[in-house]
Chains A and B, each alone.
Chain A
Amino acid sequence: MKYKVKESSKKLPDRRTFIQTLGSSCVLLLVPKFLFARENKKGAAWTYSNGYAPSEHYYGMGIDISKCIGCGRCANACKLENDVPREPFFFRTWVERYRIFEDGEVAIDSPNGAADGFKPGSAPEKNLVRNFFVPKICNQCDKPPCVQVCPVGATFKTPDGVVLVDSQYCIGCRYCIQACPYGARYLHPEKRVADKCTFCYHRIVKEKLPACVEVCPTQARIFGELEKKASPLVRFMRMNKISVLKPSLNTEPKVYYANFDMEVR
């Protein structure tokens, strides 16, 4: 049997059509790039009513576990600053105590999110191998799953990288609370909307520190710019070995921990 090579090759476009098609597909491929460029430009021109331009900033937080004394001043100040309900289970930031015993058992507790500090308590029967405090907060993920799942567009990332909740627009469906792998969100019992840490957005746009950073007596928390070389946070990240929570989830947290322990979850 003979293959009809000639016939099939006839169907191929001639050189001119080929080059034309190639050219136009290259142009088409670039279209999304231009679309996104327009998006970015839209954000770049944005200034808030107080003259603050979000596109000139990019924020993150550093937490040095070896400096935290578990005084809970951060959790307490956060509740005062942001009108977070005083009773347990509602936190924008909280502190966990990790106790790792000789037999490998790990005890984690956080009485009232540490807003009243930790009580000495009775000595454990087992010997402690390692023990320390871990302050927790919304990680202001660069790829926030909470934003992806919101059905109405009530939670979003600002050009300066802070994830916010629009409390007028939130329908209280709790999807984002489920989606956050860090348990950083809660449903506000009075407003019936999702709430979480905003890096004290109302403060940082006025060049003030977040309340928890302001009151931390040991400078265990460092707030600053990620994309400016002369920033306390960038220095912190240069001087320490840095870890983030649950890196495998690809959420790209912007809360960076120093002196991290394997047991921290």
Chain B
Amino acid sequence: MNKSPLDQFTTSLGEIEADWTTTGPDSLESTLTGRIESPAVGVDMSIDGATLPEVVETEPDPETIRTAATGITPASLAIAEYGSVVLESDPDGSELLSLFSGTHIVVLEQSDIVGSMADAFGELGPRLREDRGDAIVATGASATSDMGALVRGVHGPKDVHVVIVES
């Protein structure tokens, strides 16, 4: 019984209690509109035909980033067996927007889902050697058990929602 990478990925997301939705490039805007809690910040997507809702601030100042309820940023890769997404760090501030908001909405292209951690590192190795950039392998919400029980949302987002854009 071989599951498709998408099925395996969404099963894993369920296990780590992260929400997910699938959508087409054209309907990304409306999909996001239904999920956004304001104030929202985001970075423009490099997906053909996909746009962010008007309400999303794409050139936020530091104070807006620190106080945003929702942050929308892209993932360049996802790992099906873990439910992980690989977050970007770029001059647009993706790293900051994905980190400071209460809810992080990750936008992922379905074709970027790989099966295993080994597959992911097969892609990350050449990329990091080439561009000397950063990549955050993020799996679920920020969490701690240091205060005696599991609590979500410590320094990072409390909720994670993955929007998978079908190709």
* Chain B binds chain A: no
Q: Which chain B residues have a beta carbon within 8 Å of chain A's beta carbons?
A: none
